[in-house]
A = this chain, B = another copy of it.
Amino acid sequence: MQSAELGSILVRLLLIIIGARIAGYISEKLKQPAVLGELIAGVILGPSLLYVVNPDEPIFVFLAALGAIILLFIAGLESNIYQLMKVGRAAMFVAIIGVIVPMALGYFYFIFTGHSTTVALFVGGTLTATSVGITMRVLSELGKTKTEEGKIILGAAVIDDVLGLIVLAVVVGIVATGHVSLFNVFKLTAYGVLFLVGSIYIGIKYMPKIYRLVHEFEIEKTFVIAAFIFALFLAIIANWIGLATIVGSFAAGLILERAEHKEHYYERMKPVADLFVPIFFVMAGAVMNIKTLFDLQSLLPIIFITLIAIVGKIVAGLGAYGTKANKFQIGLGMIPRGEVGLIFVAYGLSTKVIDAHLYSLLVVVVMLTTFVTPPLLAAFMKKGKKEKVKRIADVS
């Protein structure tokens, strides 16, 4: 690599990281998640406007893929598999309805508008997964993570991620084999479930022993290297059996969350994530072609798909029937698609299932679901709090 070439790559890397931080900061000041700013930074730096970032350049594509792997690893590390299993029927139903309804609505909308089965499946899949990060942030800002609604939303969002990853695994498998058959869907669902359940079961059962051994070697460096090796290893296995790499790193995170020194893994991997994850979002924004969005042909599908995405999740709130929780609030909490949705569409584009135009539409939909949630949730949750206070006042 010549010195000028290295310099040019370093300059673009610097612009991506600076752009992501500035845009992320502005969007946080506007009470929006940093992710939105990072996507917009990508649009500005990408071919749509400045063209300093080429979304096809292998080094940045690879760094972005690494960012997605690390992102899902951290998401796994922040979840708790036992709490997930305990959070009960309500969260499970909310999650399942929240996957099936948007998936089905999205699928039929796209079949109805004349697209192929695989495209329709991919769009449906994009609409399934809830962004745990965005919802968790809004809830904790409102001090609502410990309420009945908060617990159900968080539990359902994590289950949603798992279900979303299984859907992704199935859809990717169908794309690879080129045809949809009931047997295929069944096989791939089984693959996805088996991989997640199997790796997590084996991981949690045997990892403590293996890791105690690893840490006897060289404690100082081992946490970050062990975590990275483990995330990469399961990402590679997942990739190898035809699942997405992020399914593997998410499983790795869930397993290490059960390890003895999970806080050390988290502490050491967090700075690595802080550096690499924004690269993924900037690249996701850079791939967007905003020029194709400024016409009626784009506006209509965006509105429809966004409505499907919102309605599908509000309906999911009904899954909490039988509890005292406010179903509407739960539905609102499930709206943001965020990271997993973006990973879905990025995957669809890289495997050429969806084209650049549809990719851009879907990224806008993901951004819209993320935009609307914090204000909606804040408005309706504060209302909920006031009602509660009133009721207590009535009783006393």
Contact between A351 and B28 (Cβ–Cβ < 8 Å)? no
Contact between B274 and A224 (Cβ–Cβ < 8 Å)? yes
- Check: A61 CB closer than 8 A to any chain B CB: yes
Instruction: Say whether, besides A239-B3, A271-B271, A229 and B11 are in contact (CB < 8 Å).
Output: no
Instruction: Say whether, besides A62-B1, A65-B1, A10 and B229 are in contact (CB < 8 Å).
Output: no
In Å, the complex CA distance between A14 and B69 comes to: 13
Contact between B239 and A6 (Cβ–Cβ < 8 Å)? yes
Chain B residues, Cβ within 8 Å of A14: 229, 232-233, 236
Q: Which residue of B62, B65, B275, B351 is within 8 Å of A228 (Cβ)?
A: B275
Contact with B along A247-278 (1 / 0, CB 8 A): 00000000000000000000011011011000
Instruction: Say whether, besides A10-B236, A13-B232, A236-B10, A61 and B1 are in contact (CB < 8 Å).
Output: yes
In Å, the complex CA distance between A58 and B6 comes to: 10
- Check: A240 CB closer than 8 A to any chain B CB: yes
Contact between A17 and B229 (Cβ–Cβ < 8 Å)? yes
Contact between A236 and B11 (Cβ–Cβ < 8 Å)? yes
In Å, the complex CA distance between A284 and B257 comes to: 35
Chain B residues, Cβ within 8 Å of A232: 10, 13-14, 17
Contact with B along A12-35 (1 / 0, CB 8 A): 011001100100110010000000
The minimal Cβ–Cβ distance linking A354 to chain B, given in whole angstroms, is 15
Contact between B218 and A350 (Cβ–Cβ < 8 Å)? no
The minimal Cβ–Cβ distance linking A283 to chain B, given in whole angstroms, is 11
- Check: A142 CB closer than 8 A to any chain B CB: no
Chain B residues, Cβ within 8 Å of A272: 271-272, 275
In Å, the complex CA distance between A10 and B62 comes to: 9
Chain B residues, Cβ within 8 Å of A61: 1
The minimal Cβ–Cβ distance linking A334 to chain B, given in whole angstroms, is 26
In Å, the complex CA distance between A364 and B271 comes to: 35
Q: Which residue of B7, B9, B269 is within 8 Å of A240 (Cβ)?
A: B7
Contact between B17 and A225 (Cβ–Cβ < 8 Å)? yes
- Check: A217 CB closer than 8 A to any chain B CB: yes
Q: Which residue of B2, B9, B225, B235 is within 8 Å of A350 (Cβ)?
A: B2
Q: By CB atoms of chain B within 10 A, which of A17, A58, A235 has the most?
A: A58
- Check: A369 CB closer than 8 A to any chain B CB: no
Contact between B10 and A235 (Cβ–Cβ < 8 Å)? yes
Contact between B228 and A10 (Cβ–Cβ < 8 Å)? no
Contact between B1 and A350 (Cβ–Cβ < 8 Å)? yes
- Check: A245 CB closer than 8 A to any chain B CB: yes
Q: By CB atoms of chain B within 10 A, which of A1, A3, A7, A25 has the most?
A: A3
In Å, the complex CA distance between A264 and B132 comes to: 28
In Å, the complex CA distance between A7 and B269 comes to: 21
Contact between A228 and B17 (Cβ–Cβ < 8 Å)? yes
Q: Which residue of B2, B7, B240 is within 8 Å of A236 (Cβ)?
A: B7
Kindly report which residue of chain B lies nearest to residue A7, judged by CB atoms.
Answer: B239
- Check: A299 CB closer than 8 A to any chain B CB: no
Instruction: Say whether, besides A11-B236, A245-B6, A25 and B225 are in contact (CB < 8 Å).
Output: no
A:60-76 near B, CB below 8 Å: 61-62, 65
- Check: A85 CB closer than 8 A to any chain B CB: no
Given contacts A58-B58, A224-B275, 15 further A-B contacts (CB under 8 A): A1-B61, A1-B350, A2-B350, A3-B351, A7-B240, A10-B239, A10-B245, A14-B229, A18-B229, A21-B218, A25-B218, A58-B59, A221-B274, A228-B275, A268-B274
Which 10 pairs between the two chains have the least Cβ-Cβ distance? A224-B271, A268-B271, A7-B239, A14-B232, A221-B274, A1-B61, A224-B274, A10-B236, A25-B217, A59-B62
